């Protein structure tokens, strides 16, 4: 109805998963990459959980598209099957007609087919959507299928996509054998408030819109709060807001249009994961923590690839309550700025919450370094260069985050920059003022790259000193909060 009015080729906010509209921000792209790596390089069952409307099915569809040719996927969209029905569905997907056969015949035929695939250099992965709805007997049969192997090679890989209720189901005593075989866990967080505007504009652009953003900051903020960051709800509210603006014959979405959309939508409170913000924040930290640990060998060639996905995340995340600066374990680098763990780095970009984790997560532009008379210091020079870079960076560009701090220590930062200058890397260092847990600090980035792929490749070229001292991670510049420009007297 409103397509021509806004210059669109198709509806931008339809709730049916269409992979052209896959949003790689908010760590979705990193989770997808980590899933592909885990399926192609590792063994073990993988679990992806998220609230209703958080984008699980879209992620599953993207995984189907992005899997390499040697990986054959069996997609189970309806998990409410008996154990026999599931076996028939898998057999059908593999081109086997076993209707009416006994279970033992089905299992033996499946094993023969899977061994044939393995001999051809192929892998088979079962993707179970809405896995929380799968009966317990069927889940147990899935575990038995996973046990099929030849020598040291598993014949099947399994990925479970489900709502948080899946965790409750797996926590039951009779599910412990299946749970123990889940070696990678990914939790999909809702969109944080500071990324809602980017998401809205991305969907509009994908649908063919070429003008300036039509969602005011206030309207985007209201959509984020009313939807609580769940993608499906964001889409519903954005779609109805466009309709309200069309009816008014205006091209700008304001708060009143979103309010009309909210009244029309009758949104109800989400499930238990929303009621427990602490649980949600921990799940979010586990998400990228698992992604980093799973894909680190692929992206960084570092030690994290061998670590399981659930290495003491709660203890790591609780650290911000006592301050975000654990310091450096390497005595030779004791004068470098504090280094934060990858999980804590993830936490500082998540939605508002009353927990200590979420308090540390809130990021806003911080006050710049104190003014110094005379020639600008290295810190002041890099603050100015960073401000210019953030305002002019290319679309889709990325950087490498070395560390961030929750305190302003100009002398210490100056020492770090002097050492960077000694390594002839000063021009690659960007220092961005931030506010973490209500305290002024700095985010330190390395380099500007045209894409996230280029940034990941750049991690391998980092000075060895930085590889040892820090935990480098991808940082998308499109998601950066642009700080206030440093004044000329700093």
pLDDT at 480: 65
**Average pLDDT, integer, range 105-127:** 93
Please determine, for residue 305, whether its predicted confidence score (pLDDT) is greater than 70: no
Tell me how far CA of residue 321 lies from CA of 151, 226, 480, in angstroms.
Answer: 48, 28, 24
**Mean pLDDT for all residues in the chain:** 77
Residues 6 or more apart in contact with residue 469 via CB below 8 angstroms: 328, 330, 333, 336, 339
Residue bearing the bigger pLDDT, 280 or 162: 162
Phi and psi of 182, rounded to 5°? Answer: -85, 110
Supply φ then ψ for residue 338, to 5 degrees: -60, 145
Mean pLDDT across 198-221: 94
Question: Which tokens hold the place of 123?
Answer: 């892998």
* Residue 243: pLDDT band with limits 50, 70, 90: very high
Give, to the nearest 10 degrees, the angle between helix 378-392 and helix 410-422: 80
Look-up of token digits 């004791």? 334
Helix (H, G, I), strand (E, B) or coil at 459: helix
Q: Kindly state the average pLDDT of the residues 451-480.
A: 82
Cβ distance 63 to 159 under 8 Å? yes
CATH 1.10.8 domain residues, the chain: 3-18+191-265
* 292 vs 258, higher pLDDT: 258
The C-alpha atoms of residue 319 and residue 321 are separated, in whole angstroms, by 5
Distance CA 117, CA 119 (A): 5
How does pLDDT run across 350-384, given as a tens digit for each residue? 333 333 333 333 344 444 444 445 678 999 999 99
Which CATH code for domain 27-188?
3.40.50.300
Q: Where are the beta strands (DSSP E) in 77-201?
A: 123-128, 149-150, 153-154, 157-162, 182-188
Q: What is the mean pLDDT of residues 42-56?
A: 91
Phi-psi map region of 121: left, alpha, beta (phi>0 left; psi -120 to 50 alpha): left
Report the alpha-carbon distance of residue 121 to residue 129 in Å, rounded. 26
One CATH from 1.10.1740, 1.10.10, 1.10.8, 3.40.50 for 3-18+191-265: 1.10.8
The three-point CA angle 196-197-203 to 5° equals 90
pLDDT value at residue 198? 92
Lowest-pLDDT range of 30-34, 132-136, 163-167, 224-228: 30-34
- Domain(s) of CATH 3.40.50.300: residues in the chain: 27-188
Are 184 and 38 within 8 A, CB to CB?
A: yes
């Amino acid at each position: 109805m409103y397509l021509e009015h806004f210059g669109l080729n198709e509806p931008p906010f339809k709730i049916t998963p269409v992979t052209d509209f896959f949003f790689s921000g908010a760590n979705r792209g990193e989770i997808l990459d980590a899933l592909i790596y885990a399926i192609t390089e590792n063994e073990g069952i993988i679990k992806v959980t998220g609230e209703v409307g958080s984008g699980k099915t879209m992620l599953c569809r993207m995984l189907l598209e992005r899997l390499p040719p040697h990986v054959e996927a069996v997609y189970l969209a309806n998990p409410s099957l008996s154990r026999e029905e599931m076996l028939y569905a898998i057999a059908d997907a593999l081109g086997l007609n076993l209707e009416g056969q006994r279970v033992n015949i089905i299992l033996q035929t499946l094993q023969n087919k899977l061994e044939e695939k393995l001999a051809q250099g192929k892998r088979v992965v079962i993707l179970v959507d809405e896995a929380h709805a799968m009966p317990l007997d069927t889940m147990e049969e899935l575990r038995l299928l996973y046990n099929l192997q030849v020598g040291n090679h598993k014949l099947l890989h399994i990925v479970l996509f489900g709502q948080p209720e899946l965790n409750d189901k797996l926590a039951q005593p009779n599910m412990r054998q299946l749970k123990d075989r889940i070696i990678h866990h990914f939790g999909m967080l809702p969109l944080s408030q500071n990324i809602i505007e980017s998401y809205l504009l991305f969907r509009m652009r994908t649908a063919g819109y070429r003008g300036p953003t039509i969602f005011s900051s206030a309207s985007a903020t209201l959509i984020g709060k009313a939807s609580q960051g769940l993608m499906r709800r964001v889409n519903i509210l954005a779609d109805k807001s466009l309709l309200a603006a069309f009816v008014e014959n205006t091209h700008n979405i304001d708060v009143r249009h979103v309010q009309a959309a909210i009244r029309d939508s009758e949104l109800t409170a989400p499930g238990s994961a929303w009621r427990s913000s602490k649980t949600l924040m921990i799940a979010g930290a586990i998400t990228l923590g698992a992604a980093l640990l799973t894909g680190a060998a692929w992206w960084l060639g570092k030690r994290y690839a061998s670590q399981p996905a659930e290495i003491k995340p709660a203890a790591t995340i609780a650290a911000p309550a006592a301050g975000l600066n654990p310091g450096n374990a390497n005595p030779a680098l004791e004068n470098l700025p504090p280094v934060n763990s990858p999980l804590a780095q993830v936490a500082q970009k998540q939605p508002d919450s009353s927990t200590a984790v979420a308090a540390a997560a809130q990021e806003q532009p911080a006050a710049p370094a104190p003014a110094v008379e005379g020639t600008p210091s290295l810190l002041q020079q890099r603050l100015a260069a960073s401000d210019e870079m953030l305002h002019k960076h290319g679309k889709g560009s990325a950087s490498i985050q070395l560390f961030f701090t929750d305190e302003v220590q100009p002398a210490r930062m100056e020492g770090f920059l002097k050492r960077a200058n000694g390594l002839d890397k000063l021009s690659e260092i960007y220092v961005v003022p931030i506010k973490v847990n209500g305290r002024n600090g700095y985010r330190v980035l390395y380099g500007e790259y045209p894409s996230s792929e280029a940034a990941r490749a750049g991690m391998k070229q980092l000075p060895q000193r930085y590889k040892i001292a820090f935990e480098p991670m991808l940082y998308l510049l499109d998601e950066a909060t642009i700080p206030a420009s440093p004044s000329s007297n700093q």
